[in-house]
Amino acid sequence: MLVLGQLCPMGEVASVCDAKGQEDLGRRLGKAPASGRGYKLYNSSPDTTGPRTFYITGFKDRCPRQFTAALALFGSPEVHEQLRYGRASKLYPYSTADKAY
């Protein structure tokens, strides 16, 4: 478990139960599914383009999960396939996520 604000190593996800409220997490980016309860995605530093902490809430233990990334979004497998197999695929090498998919 990490302390709120501590960077998570790339490729890892950690619980941060010491978050006191959603205001600690940054700007809310989205919710999945769009209606009902579900999960919410937060960007800790939305004015930055480099790696930073993102948080996801909505877990039964009420502890947000955090990970480090330069971009995060909720989407379906089709979103990944458009990026991986479409025109953009020629620009980017396969990542760990691509191999897992």
pLDDT for 32-88, tens place per residue?
Answer: 888 888 999 999 999 988 899 999 999 999 999 999 998 888 877 787 787 778 777
* β partners of residue 42: 28, 55
How far is Cα 77 from Cα 74, in angstroms, rounded to an integer? Answer: 10
Torsion sign, CA atoms 84, 47, 54, 27: negative
How far is Cα 68 from Cα 8, in angstroms, rounded to an integer? Answer: 6
Give the CB-side neighbour count of residue 88, counting CA atoms within 13 A: 7
Host H or E run for residue 31: strand 27-32
* β partners of residue 56: 41, 65
Q: What letter would DSSP give residue 46?
A: T
Q: What is the pTM of this model?
A: 0.75
